[in-house]
Structure 1
Amino acid sequence: MFGQVVIGPPGSGKTTYCHGMSQFLPALGRDVAVVNLDPANDMLPYKCDLDISTLITLEDVMTSLKLGPNGGLIYCMEFLEKNMDWFQSELQKLREKKKYLLFDFPGQVELYTHHNCVRNILRQLQKWDYRLAAVHLVDSHYCSDPGKFISVLLTSLSTMLQMELPHVNVLSKCDLIEKFGKLQFNLDFYTEVLDLNYLLDNIQDEPHLKKYKKLNAALVELVQDYSLVSFVPCYVQDKESMYRVMKQVDKANGYLFGDVEERNMTSLMSCAVESEFEYEKIKDVREKYMDTDSQVISDVSDSEDMA
């Protein structure tokens, strides 16, 4: 059984992504089931095949145990970890139907950066022979602020190391980038995580951040030393954008090498999409949502040419 573990900060678009992917994949002939593991999500836009609310809800936990939303979410996920027999029996019903699974997880960052309950749940799923890939969504508006983007890089890196799954980082809501200010660099600078010293220079220009110069330099060096983080831009309502994400996920969890019958349809669409290079796709988004007259963009492009 193959599937996607959709994670990310609150408001990054996880539920919207699951809704969009649950509509997109069946169009390619792939039978999909969505598993909602967010006990706080009671307004689901998609058809939910398995819902954690039948086991536990955040509202009940907060009321009975007098916990806040963060503590309540952690309790709910720990409760799920203690009730894996229930989870296995419910998933078995979907397994018998040979469904491709989309796991919609809650948006509490701590669950993916340093708490162990989600990692333990995913490890157990892997023992049950579920082939999973983590899809980590990050709101693309963070690209407009160098400091926030470095924070996103650290969060993504920490999540990758903690989850220990094949991992695809996604810049969500790319259609809304222009609403949060013009980007200082080409979009591929952010998706490929190029020389972060350019971001560091922009941060150090801000007077109130000068005293953190050494700290910021160390953080940037940490991300670049690991050299693990890159992003795929995504706009849920764009089919080609969703297909690019799907291709990355299929490579990550090994779906491309499986024996599922709809591979023929996927191969046909792959031939059509791959005729245009990925760089050109990114360039189209860049031209639509960026101020290409920026001098900074020109400087970065010149440095890339020299490299």
Structure 2
Amino acid sequence: MFGQLVIGPPGSGKSTYCTGMHEFLSGIGRRPVVINLDPANDELPYPCALDIADLITCSDVMEAMDLGPNGGLMYCMDFLAENAAWLDERIQAIQRESSGGAYVLIDCPGQAELFTQSPSFLAVVRRLVGPLKLRLAAVHLVDAHHCSDPSKIISASLLSLNTMMRLELPHVNILSKIDIAERYGPLPFGLEFFARLDEPGRVMGLIDEQSRRHVKAAAKALGLSEEAAGLESAPEPKQHGEWDGQVESDAAEEGDASAAQAADSAPATCGGACGAACVAASGGACGADCEPAAPGGGAAAAAAAAESEADARARLAKLRGFLDRRRGLNSALLGLVDEFGLVGFRPLNVMDKDSVIDVTRAVDKANGYTFGALHDGSDSAIGAGGADWAPRRGVGSMAAADGEEVGVRGVVAAEDTAADTAALSRAAALYLGKAY
């Protein structure tokens, strides 16, 4: 049996995806069945052929073991791995009833630790593709709102790369809820950028601009002008590796220089109790509230003002040091993702037929359904536009462009030309040889 292992963080739309994909596959003539492996999902929006709740639920574990939600999910997955025979019997029953022709959609828990760290979850996946002989592709959903912030882009990329390396399955990364992504802010790049993520410099440009805004806001809060904060002629950001062992000394030197400069250029004061650099310095009157200061009061006020400005500059230098370190870390992480060359995302609006068709083609090629012996001609329906299928709640406005994805990035061109098919066959043989 072919199928999809649907994974992703909480709230990324896994259950909605399974519901929409079940409807779509049913509409084009396949026989989809949904398996729920999320013990915390007690309100299933789809018809479920196998539910882990029949074995164990997260709420029962939390109550009995006095655990929180994360601990409860980890315990449930450990329990499922220890009772693998229960899972075997039910999946084998599905295989018998469908004569091996069912297409499985496996809805997984949303705790990222499960599919990035848990040995029990990995053991369950190995059992599915090993003894049970399911031809699975991992479909990793990431909420598209991550596209609106550079730090979130990096986090999503790292999570996807970690998952791909750990599960060792054919893999398709999905940006879900793409139709509402701009509710969280305008996207910094077009969707074609996220299909490959092979230009880390563009993300670093966003991070540099973000850092500049942080410095500008901090300077304003500290009472420093943009000139005093060095924002009018800001130097190029330090590259990764240049700041090692230098940040503290740089900040100290800048603080000392600021203090000396502030003392040398301290403005003349009126010498009154206000200690302000008022018009009295030019011979005018400070105001009725300004009474004569005690001897030496003007000098003390000037020294205090200089010390305050020097402290503000030192604090700003400390922030800059942190932002330099942050930039270096982000640059290294993006370099890691780019060096592997595996991560790319397909956009998905589950309410748009063309978008669902595009994702289905990519998954079919990833898990081998397009090339498999059980291929039943459904692709002809997909190629013709998904027959007469339409989602229950209407079709959205987002139409996904045909993405360009090649073998190592987990995606392939949507056009089924003869040359493309031959290349896809070789890629599928490579993937399937590794996984099975």
Q: TM-score range by the shorter chain?
A: 0.7 to 0.9
Residue correspondence of structure 1 range 9-24 to structure 2 within 5 A: 9-24=9-24
Name 2:79's counterpart in structure 1: 79
Q: Where does 1:1-307 land on structure 2 (aligned, <5 Å)?
A: 1-96=1-96, 97=98, 98-127=101-130, 128-205=132-209, 206=211, 207=214, 209-260=323-374, 262-263=376-377, 265-270=378-383, 281-282=400-401
Shift >3 Å, 4+ stretches: 207-211
Distance in 1 between residues matched to 2:374 and 2:347, nearest whole Å: 27
Contact 1:204–1:210 at 8 Å: present in 2 too? no
Q: Is the CA contact (8 Å cut-off) linking 1:39 and 1:106 kept in structure 2?
A: yes
* Aligned counterparts of 1:283 and 1:256: Cα–Cα separation in 2: 18
How far apart are residue 225 of structure 1 and its match? 0.3
Distance 2:86 2:67 in 1: 24
Alpha-carbon distance in 1 for matches of 2:152, 2:188: 13
Residue 259 and residue 91 in structure 1: after superposition, are their counterparts in 2 closer, same or farther (change >3 A)?
Answer: same
One-letter code aligned to 1:24: F
SS of residue in 2 equivalent to 1:282: coil
Cα deviation, residue 146, structure 1: 0.6
C-alpha separation between the residues in 2 aligned to 1:141 and 1:224?
A: 21
Q: How many Å apart are 1:186 and its aligned residue? A: 1.4
- Seen in structure 2, the aligned counterparts of structure 1 residues 62 and 203 have a Cα distance that, compared at 3 Å, is same
CA drift at 1:271: 5.4
- The CA distance in 2 between the partners of 1:176 and 1:140, in whole Å, is 8
Cα distance between partner residues in 2 of 1:226 and 1:114: 20
The count of corresponding residues between Structure 1 and Structure 2 is 277
Structure 1 residues 189 and 100, CA gap change in structure 2 (3 angstroms): same
Which structure has the bigger radius of gyration?
2
Which whole-Å deviations, capped at 9, do the CAs of 1:21-59 have from their partners, x for residues lacking one?
010001110001100000000011101110000000001
Contact 2:28 2:381 in 1 (8 A): no
Q: Could you tell me which amino acid in structure 2 is paired with residue 101 of structure 1?
A: V
2:349 maps to a residue whose letter is Y
Residue ranges of structure 1 left out of the alignment (5+ in a row): 274-279, 285-307
CA deviation after TM superposition for structure 1 residue 8, in Å: 0.2
The more displaced of 88-97 and 201-210 is: 201-210
Q: Kindly indicate which of the two structures has a greater share of residues assigned to helix.
A: 1
Percent sequence identity over aligned pairs: 48
Spell out, residue by residue over 1:171-213, the C-alpha distance to the aligned partner (whole angstroms, 9 max, x if none).
0001001201111111111222130111112112323634312
8 A Cα contact 1:36 1:103, kept in partner: yes
Counterparts in 2 of 1:29 and 1:283: CA distance versus 1, 3 Å: closer
Give the TM-score of the pair, scaled to structure 1: 0.87
Structure 2, unmatched stretches of 5+, are 215-318, 387-398, 404-436
3-state DSSP class of the match of 2:118?
coil
Query: Are the counterparts in 1 of residues 81 and 124 from structure 2 also a CA contact under 8 Å?
Result: yes
